[in-house]
Amino acid sequence: MLVPPLCWSCGGVARRGDPLCGRCRRLLRRLGPEPIVLSGVWVWAPVAYAGPARELVRALKFRSATAVADAMAAQIAANAPATLLGAAVASAVGVGAADTPSRPVIVPVPLHSRRLRRRGYNQAALIADALGRRTGLQVADCLRRAGSAATQVGRDRRERRLGPAGSIKLREAAPERVLFVDDVATTGATLAACAAVLRAAGSIEVAALVFARTIGR
């Protein structure tokens, strides 16, 4: 109780409830308001995968800092383009359902069951649940990963573009409009593999919201 909260990036003192100190927050590289296309999927992220943002992703994924997921979701919810979250925003301010398209459903990028057992949680699902609470959007954990449990970490760009290790499977009905959620996007190959499965099952609109995106993608 006497130890002050510390910054996950530099180890300095942070405000309670904030995973970064003021200096590291200012070092975040903010990205533009427009989504980009990665491997055929529209993707948007509030920050670049560099510096303090990279350290937050690592803290969530490898250091059991699960509370960081809510801070990531807050960044996404506060800054995501209306083209992706417009239906949720319209509902929140009282626009009638007849005036908006069907609301998108948040789908977390799946983690292989072997890695899920080892880690104890899927970081994408934690961010997705937090984003669902902040936007009022439904969350559907409708995908699973089968086959190889190899991680994308350590694979070069060519290998990543070939797609994720293993395969993506559908385990329940595909939503009509999908918003994938993940911690970070690099080549977009994993998102593309997930999108292909849902499109084949009937999804007509697919996009992705991630906390950070690799610079230059």
Beta-bridge partner residues of 170: 143
Per-residue pLDDT of 167-176, as tens digits, reads 899 999 999 9
Write down the mean pLDDT value for the chain: 86
Residue 194, in any domain of the structure: yes
Residues 172 and 11: their CA atoms lie apart, in Å, by 42
7-55 pLDDT, tens digit each: 999 999 999 889 999 999 999 999 999 999 999 999 999 999 999 999 9
Supply the angle between the helices 123-135 and 68-79 in degrees, to the nearest 10.
50
Asked, for residue 2, whether it belongs to a domain, the answer is: no
pLDDT at position 3: 61
Instruction: Indicate whether 18 belongs to any domain.
Output: no
Contact present, 91 and 100 (Cβ < 8 Å) = yes
191: in domain: yes
We report the CATH number of the domain holding residue 102 as 3.40.50
Q: 71, 46 in Cβ contact below 8 A?
A: no
* Cα 90–Cα 93–Cα 99 angle in degrees, nearest 5: 40
Q: Is residue 3 part of a domain?
A: no
Q: What is the pTM of this model?
A: 0.85
Higher pLDDT, 63 or 83: 63
HEC readout, the chain:
CCCCCECCCCCCECCCCCCCCHHHHHHCCECCCCCEEECCEEEECCEECCHHHHHHHHHHHHCCCCCHHHHHHHHHHHHCCHHHHHHHHHHHCCCCHHHCCCCCEEEECCCCHHHHHHHCCCHHHHHHHHHHHHHCCCECCCEEEECCCCCCCCCCHHHHHCCCCCEEEECCCCCCEEEEEEEEECCCHHHHHHHHHHHHCCCCEEEEEEEEECCCC
**Torsional sign, CA 105, 109, 115, 121:** negative
Residue 118 in domain: yes
Split into its structural domains, the chain has a count of 1
Q: Is residue 146 part of a domain?
A: yes
Least confident of 35-44, 63-72, 90-99: 90-99
21 within a domain of the structure (yes/no)? no
Structural domain of residue 127, as residue ranges?
30-213
Question: How do residues 181-207 score in pLDDT, each as one tens digit?
Answer: 999 999 999 999 999 999 999 999 999
Terminal Cα-to-Cα distance of the chain (whole angstroms): 42
User: Are 178 and 204 a contacting pair, CB within 8 Å?
Assistant: no
